[in-house]
Structure 1
Amino acid sequence: MKLSARNILNGTVTAVETGHVTTHVKIDIGGTIVTASITNEAAEDLALKVGDAACAVIKSSDVIVGKA
């Protein structure tokens, strides 16, 4: 797979939580969990399961940082 995005975080799927419209996919990237919200259709197409190798691809022009 070739992508133009440079922020590709490889890891392992730890949870797939399907809702009415979206599926939350949790990926462990070396002790840190990244959660992605994708459409149910995309989740079905990918056939994601716990234990699968997966990657979180982040492409954004804005990153917002906050401090409590």
Structure 2
Amino acid sequence: MVLYTDGLIEVPGSSIQARQEQVKITLAAHRDVPMEEFMDTLLRSSQEKRNGQPDDICVIGIDV
């Protein structure tokens, strides 16, 4: 389970729906890796999309 604030998916020049879809794709592609590794990948991907533009992001990942 992954919970996140809007800072993860609100990226200037991108639609929120497209970013939500990217989160789903990233989750599906990393479903067999440890949660910590997935979270690093997810945050890195978000930072790359921002092109250096800061925003507050909170992500909580829970293995169930």
> Would you call these one fold, judging by a TM-score over 0.5?
no
**Higher gyration radius (CA):** 1
Structure having the larger proportion of residues in helix: 2
Give the TM-score taking structure 1 as reference length: 0.25
